[in-house]
Amino acid sequence: MQRVAAFTDTYLPTVNGVTYTVESWRDRWVRDGGRMDVVYPDANGHTPAETEHPVKSLPFPFYDGFRLGTPRIPSDVRDAELVHTHTPFAIGLGGLRLARNRDLPLVASYHTPTSEYANYVSPTDAVASALGRVCESYERWFLEHADAVLAPSAATRDHVRDEVGVDTPVEIVPNGVDVERFRPVEADDFRASRGLDTGRPLIGYTGRHGYEKRLSELVAAAAGMDVTLVFGGDGPARADLERQAESLGADAHFLGFLDRDEMPAFYSALDTFAFPSPVETQGLVALEANACGTPVVGANAGALANTIDDGETGYHYESGDIDDFRAAIRRTLAERDELREACLARRDEVSVERAVERLADVYRRVR
């Protein structure tokens, strides 16, 4: 097994899909006999393991929870045989520099369409459009230095090829789910401890409460139904979501950040997981919910168009159409038992073990 140096601009203790993917891939790579060192921005709240190398960082003012690291190359990773960047910014540039200086193979994962997020850090549409073009130009420059680009879904692969305009080979390697952790569990105690024994179906979401996730659509849909809405996680949109839920009379519970060990019980407690975000590159939390036997209703946009299989693991709705969102939730609730069985039958297909097998194949081909 090769010694890999992974560079990422987001990592523990920050909670997001990139963090979990880097951590789970590293753990499986080590379990299979390899070594994967992780270079990431230093942050309070995480004690580094032997193969984790924090570098100095500063908070990023436009995106809560994101830190800008310095593009340093720690001495402990200079003997790597392959470099894998998970983000293209400051620390990702350190990975690019290591690969170029040592003439090493470079693999780059495309986790986040940065141009899509320009709308949420720009004061006007004109600024957002200009910033989006700059982001795509930069992404193209960075990714074309790689020997292979990894996309977690077919929709993301097409975005990288057709919209970003990258000529580098793009391989589909799903992030994968830790199916040892994410499995159906007894959730009565979780419901009781969180005051969720309402007698109504539980519709939930967990993750970053960012405006780009369009969680206001979920609150609006739930307000017209006899359901209990449950939010795990936190973010800049939370206060607005709480005010919206109160004004619409929605029965909404905001649980804040949940411990990782609580997540299987959270997913298992839900009757339906709802995911209105149109900007996902895969939608890992949707697959985690499925692995726990919970069907997903999601926007028919971005990677969720591929991640959710209508009539098997949940249903789509047209992004922005609240009536269609409600109809998809009702249909999913009506078919929950059948959908649950279909979700559980696919656990092995979405496992992180399968993902790392594909990852290893890419690594072998670029050497």
Asked if domains 3-176+351-366 and 188-349 share a fold, the reply is yes
Output the pLDDT for position 125: 65
pLDDT band at 116 (very low <50, low <70, confident <90, very high): low
3-state secondary structure the chain: CCEEEEECCCCCCCCCHHHHHHHHHHHHHHHCCCEEEEEEECCCCCCCCCCEEEECEEECCCCCCCEEECCCCCHHHCCCCEEEECCCCHHHHHHHHHHHHHCCCEEEECCCCHHHHHHHCCCCHHHHHHHHHHHHHHHHHHHCCCCEEEECCHHHHHHHHHHHCCCCCEEECCCCECCCCCCCCCCHHHHHHCCCCCCCCEEEEECCCCHHHCHHHHHHHHHCCCCEEEEECCCCCHHHHHHHHHHHCCCEEECCCCCHHHHHHHHHHCCEEEECCCCCCCCHHHHHHHHCCCCEEEECCCCHHHHCCECCCEEEECCCCHHHHHHHHHHHHHCHHHHHHHHHHCCHHHEHHHHHHHHHHHHHHHC
On whether the pTM is more than 0.85, the answer is: yes
Structure tokens at 271: 């009757």
Dump pLDDT digits (tens) for 195-209.
999 999 999 999 989
Residue 215 pLDDT > 90: yes
For 109-113, 138-142, 242-246, which range has the lowest pLDDT when averaged over its residues? Answer: 109-113
Question: Residue ranges of the domains in the chain?
Answer: 3-176+351-366, 188-349
Please tell me the distance from the alpha carbon of residue 270 to that of residue 104, in angstroms, as a whole number.
46
* Rg (alpha carbons) of the chain, rounded to whole number: 20
Amino acid present at 190: F
Contact status, residue 310 vs residue 267, Cβ threshold 8 Å: no
List residues bridging with 57 in a β-sheet.
69
- For the beta carbon of residue 45, count every other beta carbon within 10 angstroms: 7
Output the pLDDT for position 45: 78
Residue 117 pLDDT > 90: no
Output the pLDDT for position 255: 97
Please tell me the distance from the alpha carbon of residue 227 to that of residue 64, in angstroms, as a whole number.
30
List residues bridging with 38 in a β-sheet.
6, 52
Q: Stretch 123-130: mean pLDDT, rounded?
A: 69
Output the pLDDT for position 65: 62
Output the pLDDT for position 122: 61
Output the pLDDT for position 17: 84
Cis amide bond preceding 13, omega within 30: yes
Dump pLDDT digits (tens) for 47-80.
999 999 999 988 776 666 667 888 999 999 999 9
Dump pLDDT digits (tens) for 228-253.
999 999 999 999 999 999 999 999 99
Supply the CATH classification number for the domain 188-349: 3.40.50.2000
Taking Cα atoms as reference points, which of 340, 283, 278 lies closest to residue 313? Answer: 340
Output the pLDDT for position 279: 86
Please tell me the distance from the alpha carbon of residue 148 to that of residue 144, in angstroms, as a whole number.
9
Domain topology for 3-176+351-366: Rossmann fold (3.40.50)
> Considering the chain, what is the average pLDDT of its residues?
92
Output the pLDDT for position 312: 97
Output the pLDDT for position 302: 86
Under 8 Å CB-to-CB from 108, ≥6 apart: which residues?
Answer: 84, 85, 88, 92, 142, 143, 145, 146, 148, 149, 150, 168
Please tell me the distance from the alpha carbon of residue 178 to that of residue 201, in angstroms, as a whole number.
26
Residue 10 pLDDT > 60: yes
- For the beta carbon of residue 188, count every other beta carbon within 10 angstroms: 11
Residue 120 pLDDT > 60: no
Please tell me the distance from the alpha carbon of residue 252 to that of residue 215, in angstroms, as a whole number.
12
Structure tokens at 146: 């790689």
Dump pLDDT digits (tens) for 150-171.
999 998 999 999 999 999 999 9
Residue 135 pLDDT > 90: no
Output the pLDDT for position 118: 64
Please tell me the distance from the alpha carbon of residue 342 to that of residue 217, in angstroms, as a whole number.
27
Structure tokens at 249: 């009379």
- Percent of the chain past pLDDT 90, that is, above it, reads 79
